[in-house]
Chain A
Amino acid sequence: MSAILSLHDVSKSFGALTVTDSVTFDVPEGQALGIIGPNGAGKSTLFNLITGNLAADAGRIEYLGRDVTRTPPMQRCLSGIGRSFQIPQPFDRLTVFENLLVAATHGRGLPERAVEEDCAAILERTELIAAANRPAGTLSLLQRKRLELARAMATRPKLLLLDEIAGGLTEGECVALVDTIRAIHREGVTIIWIEHVIHALTRVVERLLVLDFGKVIGIGEPDAIMASKEVREIYLGIEI
Chain B
Amino acid sequence: MAGASYTVTTRTRASQIAALVAAILLIVAIALPTFASRSLIQDMFFILTMLTLAQFWNLLAGYGGLVSVGQQAFVGFGAYMLFGSAILWGVDPVAGLLLAGVFALVLAVPTAFFAFRLQGPYFAIGTWVVAEVVRLSVAQWKAVGGGTGTSLPRDARDLMWGVQWIERTLDLRASAARDVLAYWLALALAVATIGGIYWFLRTKRGLALAALRDNVQAARSVGVDSDRMRWIVFLVAAFGTGIAGGLIFLQNGRISPDSAFSVIDWTAFVIFIVVIGGIGTIEGPIIGVLVFFALQTLLADFGSWYLMVLGGLGIAVMLFAPGGLWGLVSDKTGLRLFPIQRRLERRGDGSPDEIE
Contact = CB atoms under 8 A, between A and B. Distances in A.
Contacts of B355: 129-133
B1 to A, nearest CB: 5
Question: Which DSSP category, helix, strand, loop or mixed, fits chain B's interface?
Answer: mixed
Given A98-B342, A116-B8, A133-B355, A91 B219 contact: yes
A97 to B, nearest CB: 5
A77 B223 contact: yes
Interface residues of B, number: 32
A157 B325 CA distance: 42
B215 A133 contact: no
**A interface, size bucket:** 35 or more
B142 interface: no
B332 interface: no
B204 interface: yes
Interface in B305-356: 341-344, 354-356
A117 B6 contact: yes
Nearest to B353: A130
Contacts of A82: 222
Contacts, number: 120
A69 to B, nearest CB: 17
A106 B210 contact: no
Contacts of B2: 121, 124
Nearest to A151: B222
B215 A83 contact: no
Interface centre among B223, B225, B354, B355 (most CB of A within 10 A): B223
A94 B221 contact: no
Contacts of A116: 6, 8, 344
A131 B217 contact: no
Given A98-B342, A117-B6, A133-B344, A51 B211 contact: no
B207 interface: yes
Interface string B5-27: 11010000000000000000000
Interface in B192-226: 204, 207-208, 210-211, 213-215, 217-226
A90 B218 contact: yes
Interface stretch (A28-36, A107-115, A179-187, A227-235): A107-115
B280 interface: yes
Interface string A2-31: 000000000000000000000000000000
Given A98-B207, A106-B208, A112-B204, A91 B218 contact: yes
A83 B221 contact: yes
Contacts of B356: 130-134
15 contacts: A74-B226, A77-B220, A77-B223, A90-B214, A91-B219, A97-B8, A102-B222, A105-B208, A111-B204, A116-B8, A117-B6, A121-B2, A123-B344, A132-B344, A155-B223
Interface of B: 1-2, 4-6, 8, 204, 207-208, 210-211, 213-215, 217-226, 280, 341-344, 354-356
Closest CB pairs A-B (n = 9): A107-B223, A103-B222, A91-B214, A106-B223, A77-B223, A89-B218, A102-B211, A132-B344, A120-B6
